[in-house]
Structure 1
Amino acid sequence: INYRGNAAAAAETLEMVNATDGQGIVVQANIADSVDRERLITETTTAFGRIDLLVNNAGMAPRRRLDILETTEASYDEVMAVNLKGPFFLTQQVANQMIAMQQAGTIMQPKIINIGSISAYTSSPNRGEYCISKAGMGMMTTLFADRLAGEGINVYEIRPGIIETDMTGAVKEKYDHLIADGLTPIRRWGQPDDIAQAVVALAEGSFPFSTGEIINVDGGFHFRRL
């Protein structure tokens, strides 16, 4: 269980793992930092001796929503480092570990799941750096799926829609009205558990002949409707 700053949430997640007779560890690491990425992998393999699954769930929105004509380089670099650069190089490192572990017979059919966003294709000019990072993750999914298929590693992307989290708290009233007016065919907020259920289905191996697949968890937002 990786976290950057919210130790309490990580501890709560660990409690839930333990409550189901699972085994877990908590590792503080900033995915945007190469040293932290290496430490995350080292602590994981030291504790368990294997990596069967990577879920790239780290993500952040811009600290300030600014018109794309006013976006700062600092904001762009920060968002891209967390949302795209970090996951890219973490996936690269973990994939190499998975390949070696499969060759050694330690694991079989490992999987990589990227958490993307409808912002990959939905324009929001007041948070352009976020949209670009998620569009990049879509191609990242395709590239790794292509490269790793021959290694027996399936790669997927889950693309959430409007999910009720801390990240959307500041715009809740706006989306309450939009959802009620039919922005999504399923007229409710998405919940973190909706994403979790999709992750579980992929992790359990329910789609063995699929890779590079995008799983939309968005209440039908991706439909084109007249």
Structure 2
Amino acid sequence: MNRIALVTGGQRGIGLGISRALAEAGYTVAIAAQEEADAPEVTEALNSLGGKGRYFRHDLLDIDHCKTLLDRVEADLGPVTAFVSNAGVPARIRGDMLDLAPDSFDFVMGVNLRGAFFLAQEVARRMLDQPSDSYRSMSFITSVSAEMVSIERAEYCLSKAGAAMMAELFAVRLAPHGIGVFELRPGIIETGMTAGVKDKYTARIEGGLVPAARWGQPADIGSIIVPIADGQMAFATGSTFAVDGGLSIPRL
């Protein structure tokens, strides 16, 4: 059976690190994101996958087209055996949570929770239709912010805490069918999303914030996704992996 991975937001940052790792492991990677197919970022990402990637335009806010996306992927590549729910948005404005506006709250929740849930729901339904002797997996990329508080981006923390529960819900629902579901919580990862706070966090990392004493890289997350997708952690379904260099370990 062909090994087909669907990675949302797989054209940049953490998602691209995951896409590259899966492609190197022999998967054909379907990248889903809202950019135009001819966007430079998309072209560069596909080129870096060495012919193992295909791009499918999809906006997570548009839940009515989840079935259309999966139809297109299946028609072009085949059934998805490894799904990585990675795409997400940060808080539009960092600031006092007492000033958080409803439209900003709704936007983050719409992408990180509502959109992510209904796409995962459609993927799960189709995975149930696949032969039970073929391993299938779903991985949810959340954040240390699912548990660690950042009061200047409350909506983001809330969305990631909800996504953590989402992973557990799918894990319990799908476990009897041999479908593994996992949550990965990245810490401070060097991507375009964190470029604006690089100096701030570099100083804090050098000051001991991260026990591993370095920035995380997208490849750090990709290296964990591959054994998950391959089924090497099948009986650990429902597990949460902190990919943060020790950041979230409680310390005195």
The alpha-carbon deviation at position 38 of structure 1 amounts to 2.5
Which residue identity does 2:226 align to in structure 1?
V
Matched, 1:43 2:72: yes
Please tell me whether the aligned partners of residues 109 and 155 of structure 2 are also in contact (alpha carbons under 8 angstroms).
yes
Which residue identity does 2:106 align to in structure 1?
D
1:167 to 170, 188, 193: 193
Q: How far apart in 1 are the matches of 2:123 and 2:62?
A: 15
Q: How far apart in 2 are the matches of 1:12 and 1:26?
A: 12
Paired residues for 1:115-134 under 5 Å: 115-134=141-160
Structure 2: runs of 5+ lacking an equivalent:
1-30
1:5 to 27, 35, 42: 35
Higher mean C-alpha displacement, 204-213 vs 142-151: 204-213
The alpha-carbon deviation at position 9 of structure 1 amounts to 2.5
Matched, 1:102 2:128: no
- Runs of 4+ aligned residues of structure 1 deviating over 4 Å after TM superposition are none
Q: 1:37 to 1:8 in 2, by over 3 A?
A: farther
Aligned residues: 220
* 2:234 match: 208
The alpha-carbon deviation at position 28 of structure 1 amounts to 1.1
1:59 to 72, 80, 88: 88
Q: How far apart in 1 are the matches of 2:75 and 2:130?
A: 14
Please tell me whether the aligned partners of residues 190 and 215 of structure 2 are also in contact (alpha carbons under 8 angstroms).
yes
Please tell me whether the aligned partners of residues 185 and 241 of structure 2 are also in contact (alpha carbons under 8 angstroms).
yes
Q: How far apart in 1 are the matches of 2:179 and 2:162?
A: 20
Which residue identity does 2:92 align to in structure 1?
R
Q: How far apart in 2 are the matches of 1:184 and 1:205?
A: 30
SS at match of 1:26: strand
* 2:103 match: 74
Please tell me whether the aligned partners of residues 3 and 10 of structure 1 are also in contact (alpha carbons under 8 angstroms).
no
* 1:91 match: 120
The alpha-carbon deviation at position 167 of structure 1 amounts to 1.1
Q: Deviations over 1:160-203 (max 9, x none)?
A: 00001111111111101100000010000001111111111211
Structure 1: runs of 5+ lacking an equivalent:
none
Q: How far apart in 2 are the matches of 1:177 and 1:216?
A: 22
Which residue identity does 2:126 align to in structure 1?
Q
Please tell me whether the aligned partners of residues 189 and 216 of structure 2 are also in contact (alpha carbons under 8 angstroms).
yes
Matched, 1:112 2:144: no
SS at match of 1:38: helix
* 1:223 match: 249
SS at match of 1:122: coil
SS at match of 2:84: strand
Please tell me whether the aligned partners of residues 165 and 192 of structure 1 are also in contact (alpha carbons under 8 angstroms).
yes
CA RMSD of the aligned region, Å? 1.4
The alpha-carbon deviation at position 30 of structure 1 amounts to 0.7
Matched, 1:136 2:144: no
The alpha-carbon deviation at position 149 of structure 1 amounts to 0.2
Q: How far apart in 2 are the matches of 1:177 and 1:64?
A: 22
Q: How far apart in 1 are the matches of 2:41 and 2:203?
A: 29
SS at match of 1:187: coil
SS at match of 1:80: helix
Q: Deviations over 1:133-177 (max 9, x none)?
A: 000011111110001001111100111000011111111111011
The alpha-carbon deviation at position 3 of structure 1 amounts to 1.6
